[in-house]
Chains A and B, each alone.
Chain A
Amino acid sequence: MVFPGRYESLAEIADFVRAAARETGLDDFSIYAVETAVDEACSNIIEHAYQGEDNGVIECALTIKPDRLTIVLEDQGLPFNPKDIPDPKLSVPLEERDDHGLGLFFIRQMMDEVFFENTGPERGNRVTMIKYKEHLGKKHRHLRGHGNRVTMTKDKEKKVG
């Protein structure tokens, strides 16, 4: 699904993602966690990749598997490098708390796996986020395989002569 890159879209994206999370069979807090991560990621896309509203769209692809929900968000905005964002300071006194990094922190805390990549030489980002069903959370991930895909092609026979 493609959404306009404006903050107004966040509620609709949330509905879309929440429905998928429910269908995956995630528990209540996991559904909230997924909604949070996606909201934060989309807000970041609008604010940072697109430098404001109405400068591009957000593509959202959801894959529901028996044990997980995979969310992929893509934009055509400025390249984002998560290493540029420092971790927020979470246990400092009120006067020292600043505005930065909480969104990215939530994304990483709320989802089980998060991958960021640039999709173009000058523009474009893709973030892939995975949430596993509760009984197969982070600590059991080593038991899970990543699946297999076999691709077979048959070319049309070349005519000779």
Chain B
Amino acid sequence: MEIKNIEYKHCDLVAVSGRIDSATAPQFSENLNRINEKGRFKIVVDFTDVPFISSAGLRVLVNAQKNCKRFNRGEVVLANVPPNIKSALELAGFTLLFRIFDDTLTAVGNF
């Protein structure tokens, strides 16, 4: 799994390529933590190249969301989520916890 980070004026774009599973979730978590450590809490996670995410990956997202939303300082939003993953997110009640945008441009623009 590879992660590309782009820092915009108002938010960070995290473009992930590859599966997010128990093997790669720690790397994903570390990437999001590093953004928070810089004092940045507005994050767009781009799912364009993510074919699969397991509960390990979802856990990372939930923890990141908890951290970003604390003190109202920011938020994690999701962009370009493939239909299969969207269905899994709905099943797990994640669509209540994350705003989902159709494309990264709109997602970044929302901040």
Contact = CB atoms under 8 A, between A and B. Distances in A.
Interface of A: 7-8, 10-11, 14, 28-29, 32, 35-36, 39-40, 43, 46-47, 88, 90-91, 94-95, 97, 99, 102-103, 105-106, 109
Given A28-B84, A105-B92, A11 B55 contact: no
A14 B19 contact: yes
Contacts of B92: 88, 90, 102, 105-106
Contact of A94 (B23, B56, B62): B62
B58 interface: yes
Interface in B19-38: 19, 21-23
Given A8-B23, A29-B87, A90-B92, A40 B62 contact: no
B73 interface: no
Interface string B45-88: 00000001011101100100110010000000000000110011
Interface residues of B, number: 23
B96 interface: yes
**4 A-B pairs with least C-beta separation:** A90-B93, A7-B23, A102-B55, A32-B84
Contacts of A43: 21-22, 54-56
Contact of A106 (B84, B91, B96): B91
Given A28-B84, A43-B56, A102-B55, 17 more contacts: A7-B22, A10-B19, A29-B87, A32-B87, A32-B88, A36-B52, A36-B88, A43-B22, A43-B54, A46-B22, A47-B22, A88-B92, A90-B93, A99-B59, A105-B92, A106-B91, A109-B91
A11 B19 contact: yes
Given A39-B52, A43-B54, A106 B21 contact: no
A39 B20 CA distance: 11
A103 B62 CA distance: 14
A7 B21 CA distance: 8
